[in-house]
Amino acid sequence: MNCFRKSFEICHNFSILIPLSAQAANITITINGQNVFFEQKPIIKNNIALVPMRAFFEALGAKVNWKEKTKTVTAFRGKITTVQLIIGHKIAKVNGKNYELIVAPQLINGSTYVPLRFVGEVFGYKVIYENGHIIITSNQKTTESLTTTFKNTVTETKPEVGLLQRVNRFLRSRF
């Protein structure tokens, strides 16, 4: 009877875990208004969303370098941001400065997973979690667009020196 009870408890405990893993598989991610799908599903560990490393970095526009020997991933985005993460270590380097992570990057089913919020935010994105949906947005494109528009406006309205001289002569001759 005691053996039956232990077997029942083990089965019951596993049945409780099944919905938790299914919930993690249902996380959706949107980056700048576009739904992003990864071959390996995002997971939640200690209330931290972890995503497959290479696919997520590339979705954010970063280049990725993986060193198998040291289990180190280094990501570069533009000329400014460099992120270095080591599997199993809670210390990340961003542009040479150390940051402590709540959950270390890890290997899960042969794939490297990294903390979504940390990586998103160090690359300048805003990360919001709402009911199983993670929304990641960046103001970078808006800023670039406004800067380009402003530069074009200034260039278009910049008067030519010759034109100023002609207007000046015209005004002197009339007044």
In whole angstroms, give the CA distance from residue 74 to residue 84. Answer: 4
pLDDT digits (tens, 9 = 90+) for 105-137: 999 988 899 998 998 888 888 888 887 788 888
Strands, E, within the chain: which ranges?
28-31, 34-36, 43-45, 48-52, 63-67, 72-77, 81-86, 91-94, 97-100, 106-108, 111-115, 126-130, 133-137
Which of 88, 62, 91 is CA-nearest to residue 74?
62
Domain coordinates in residue numbering, the chain: 2-138, 139-175
CA dihedral 53, 51, 40, 88 (to 10 degrees): 70
Average pLDDT estimate for 156-170? 52
Question: Per-residue pLDDT tens for 137-148?
Answer: 886 543 343 333
Higher pLDDT: 158 or 30? It is: 30
Q: Into which CATH architecture does domain 2-138 fall?
A: 2-Layer Sandwich (3.30)
Query: How confident is the model at residue 67, as a pLDDT?
Result: 93
pLDDT of residue 32: 86
What's the rounded Cα separation, in Å, for the pair 101 and 105?
Answer: 9
Task: Give the SS3 label for residue 106.
Answer: strand
**pLDDT, tens digit, 9 for 90 and up, residues 41-95:** 888 888 888 999 888 888 888 899 999 999 999 999 887 789 999 999 999 999 9
